[in-house]
Structure 1
């Protein structure tokens, strides 16, 4: 009898210990996510500085104003921790939104240091958020995930990270191709708001199915499931973001806190005296199928529509070329221009046909690049002019976040694959046969002559040249 009582006592004690252990473990997780701190936080890339590219966006330059019903100020209002905790708890989200000192750092960064950026993102959110929501609804995922592009790209479809991730959702080339996105020199679906959103949402769903935890899935989106799995192992098997926090790559640790802060600031911006900029990007748009090779500049000229607007609505066409002769492609236009395009289709195709036929000969596999050694006094602007490209293209090619460059360094430039730093003009050739990727700038640099002299020697009225054309090279 005593033996039975003793065994029963042991079993009850064991059960109580298990329950207590689970309670302590649960309590430790709650305590950890609420009290965790990081004195060496690495700020996520999209927030390292005020983003010049979004603030110089064409829409923001041409059509901006602040909602008169919103009270704006240059000063942030800080609140006690209890207020932030209460506000986060009231957000209608499925994903857990805890508050701690790391989350507070990101809220302060948005509300204090990146106010102009937040104003811009709120304005562009009117256009992009419905696209994200539609993709999320289709896969039955939490709608608060629509704020991931806020921390990924600051809502810039042409954003390119230091490691080559691109688009609103910052998708890497390898991941993009595995998700069925087209990525080449003419078309980059990572920049398409609709296609990239559909792909990113499917990828997020795959990650959630792996971890059954949204914070871990969001972290894995940033650093890859391999790194999250390593962090889980190093933490002793914990499957909670805050439990593996210090085992994650440094740049990923701030990712979930930034996501929570983005959810906060996008919902409580008025409480911090921030007002949305009214970016008049056309909210009512539609698409038409393009079955011919066409240039956005042809459409712009015939429809009398700003080329910048067409580029904003169709950022996936990297060189303004829609290669519809290869396969059908979509063109997005404001709804009021759809019928105008259909009625003017023949005129658009014929507009400066020969001119654009030469421009449209760039093939994805044949674009090559050279390198330019930066000299004292040179800037990205002067280099861009020299090689007949743009500052944004140079920044994209070289993964530059800003326009700061140093003399003595080499940067990649569009060209024919020659080393421009050594093309000092020692060539003695009397003629040059244009190869794929050649520009007047690269040829002039190669032979040590100016573009204007090269044009004069060949009777050219513009900088357009075609593959196979033979150019006379003037003497130096």
Structure 2
């Protein structure tokens, strides 16, 4: 009898425990699923929640999994398109009708919004030949899906332009001994549009602010803006990125600092308890910068695996091979086009760093002119004759470079109204002044700003 009573009590106690364990088991991820690699080999992958951070090494067989869910709720997950700057949109609209998609041997027709398993993304990201550690989580996936399903046309155009720009980026990055995957930064900065200008005034492929561009030796005046020069701006970006890496010793933090400034990254590190892990300082960073590293990873993914998702490079008419000429006198694009019989549009496309249709150069400061390589012999042959063609009609003898600052007028005070996403560092960069000066002029005791607040800037 005692045995029967004990058995009944034991069963009554065990039933809810078993139910709870069963319910909990439904919520747990299935461990060690087997995934068939594209090479038909088998890869063992630990499946974790989409909200977990997965830091990948270069070897797919050695996935390092780190769980940290503290940063996961973010508005950018609801609308990742909110990150994309309008200047990138304008480039897409400009190129949308430029041509049809060309055939790509790996491109296949695939339906939109495929339910791709996380293991596929994991395996592909792990296989990227990167120096910079990549992470995979729900935030990264959302940005990958944004590119694949909401911006395939933009990706197609960027792929076409990458044939011209990526070799330039890679040559400079390799010379400075920097990770080659940094070439994807202009993808998210400007959409590979050298004429892109942000709402804060950053310009060019690498989106340099006026003050930062001048700091790294770029010529910015009334005639020339080297922030738009693909070679010189990449040289400046390489130096800037190297200085940021030397400062933080971590590429993800250096990339974050490229977006919001080293001061904001230092503050985020301090507020997180001095962690050097991007995902641990995530919520202490400015809102826009939280998206910056995830979208960098997403851009890396889509530019490499575009064909697996049926996205092919667009046919954009652009001279992919060009030569560089140093000119010591002004030349109007029409002079070059007419005398050398070079398409005017080709000259414009290759020389976005000239503010007008005049290639500016002098004996003191030679200008850089890029022309399609097939016209090199022709340009050398007629170079001395070009400036004399319709000189009075096309050139102004008094044309000289004047100091240029797009944000200041006559040295007078500027009243700036704070907008959503602003911080003192970005405002200071925009106007070419220091944060301390803005605080002094406006009697600010902290770095906190309110939307609609007015700031006086001299």
User: TM-score if structure 1 supplies the norm length?
Assistant: 0.67
Is 1:140 equivalent to 2:177 in the alignment? yes
For 1:332-351, list aligned pairs within 5 A: 332-351=370-389
Contact 2:323 2:371 in 1 (8 A): yes
CA distance in structure 1 between the aligned counterparts of 2:194 and 2:87, rounded to whole angstroms: 18
Is 1:39 equivalent to 2:74 in the alignment? yes
Question: Could you say what secondary structure the match of 1:333 adopts?
Answer: strand
Aligned with 1:168 (options 205, 224, 243): 205
Paired residue for 2:337? 300
CA apart distance, 1:278? 2.9
CA apart distance, 1:248? 0.2
Aligned with 2:278 (options 225, 229, 241): 241
Contact 1:288 1:338 in 2 (8 A): no
Could you tell me which runs of 5 or more consecutive residues in structure 2 were left unpaired when the two chains were aligned.
Answer: 1-52, 56-63, 410-458
Are the structure 2 counterparts of residues 308 and 80 from structure 1 closer, same or farther at C-alpha, using a change threshold of 3 Å? same
Contact 1:132 1:197 in 2 (8 A): yes
Contact 1:55 1:120 in 2 (8 A): no
CA distance in structure 2 between the aligned counterparts of 1:144 and 1:266, rounded to whole angstroms: 11
- Deviation digits for residues 306-364 of structure 1 (CA, Å, limit 9, x no counterpart): 22211111111011222213521121111111111111223321221101123973643
Contact 1:94 1:142 in 2 (8 A): yes
CA distance in structure 1 between the aligned counterparts of 2:81 and 2:384, rounded to whole angstroms: 51
Aligned with 2:350 (options 313, 331, 352): 313
For 1:260-409, list aligned pairs within 5 A: 260-325=297-362, 326-358=364-396, 361=399, 363-365=401-403
- Deviation digits for residues 128-171 of structure 1 (CA, Å, limit 9, x no counterpart): 01111011101111111111100110000111111111110111
In the alignment of these two chains, the number of paired residues is 344
Paired residue for 1:177? 214
Question: Could you say what secondary structure the match of 1:180 adopts?
Answer: coil
CA apart distance, 1:65? 4.1
Which shows bigger deviation, 276-285 or 356-365?
Answer: 356-365
Are the structure 2 counterparts of residues 282 and 235 from structure 1 closer, same or farther at C-alpha, using a change threshold of 3 Å? same
Question: Could you say what secondary structure the match of 1:274 adopts?
Answer: coil
Contact 1:54 1:120 in 2 (8 A): yes
CA distance in structure 1 between the aligned counterparts of 2:233 and 2:333, rounded to whole angstroms: 21
- Deviation digits for residues 61-115 of structure 1 (CA, Å, limit 9, x no counterpart): 5565412533356735340112111111111111111110110110011001111
- Deviation digits for residues 176-230 of structure 1 (CA, Å, limit 9, x no counterpart): 1110111112111110000011110111111111111110000000000000001
Paired residue for 2:252? 215
Contact 2:71 2:280 in 1 (8 A): no
CA distance in structure 2 between the aligned counterparts of 1:257 and 1:369, rounded to whole angstroms: 31
User: TM-score if structure 2 supplies the norm length?
Assistant: 0.69
Are the structure 2 counterparts of residues 177 and 44 from structure 1 closer, same or farther at C-alpha, using a change threshold of 3 Å? farther
For 1:45-64, list aligned pairs within 5 A: 45-46=83-84, 51-57=89-95, 64=100
CA distance in structure 2 between the aligned counterparts of 1:295 and 1:74, rounded to whole angstroms: 49
Are the structure 2 counterparts of residues 92 and 298 from structure 1 closer, same or farther at C-alpha, using a change threshold of 3 Å? same
CA distance in structure 2 between the aligned counterparts of 1:30 and 1:295, rounded to whole angstroms: 58
Aligned with 2:103 (options 64, 67, 80): 67
Aligned with 2:155 (options 118, 122, 126): 118
Paired residue for 2:193? 156
- Deviation digits for residues 293-318 of structure 1 (CA, Å, limit 9, x no counterpart): 11112112222322221111111101
Are the structure 2 counterparts of residues 239 and 125 from structure 1 closer, same or farther at C-alpha, using a change threshold of 3 Å? same
CA distance in structure 1 between the aligned counterparts of 2:383 and 2:175, rounded to whole angstroms: 34
Paired residue for 2:441? none
Contact 1:44 1:251 in 2 (8 A): no
Are the structure 2 counterparts of residues 179 and 49 from structure 1 closer, same or farther at C-alpha, using a change threshold of 3 Å? closer
Deviation above 6 Å: which 4+ runs of structure 1?
26-29, 366-371
Are the structure 2 counterparts of residues 302 and 112 from structure 1 closer, same or farther at C-alpha, using a change threshold of 3 Å? same
Paired residue for 2:450? none
CA distance in structure 2 between the aligned counterparts of 1:127 and 1:240, rounded to whole angstroms: 34
Question: Could you say what secondary structure the match of 1:332 adopts?
Answer: strand
CA distance in structure 2 between the aligned counterparts of 1:281 and 1:360, rounded to whole angstroms: 33
Could you tell me which runs of 5 or more consecutive residues in structure 1 were left unpaired when the two chains were aligned.
Answer: 1-25, 372-476
Contact 2:81 2:146 in 1 (8 A): no
Is 1:129 equivalent to 2:132 in the alignment? no
Contact 2:327 2:366 in 1 (8 A): yes
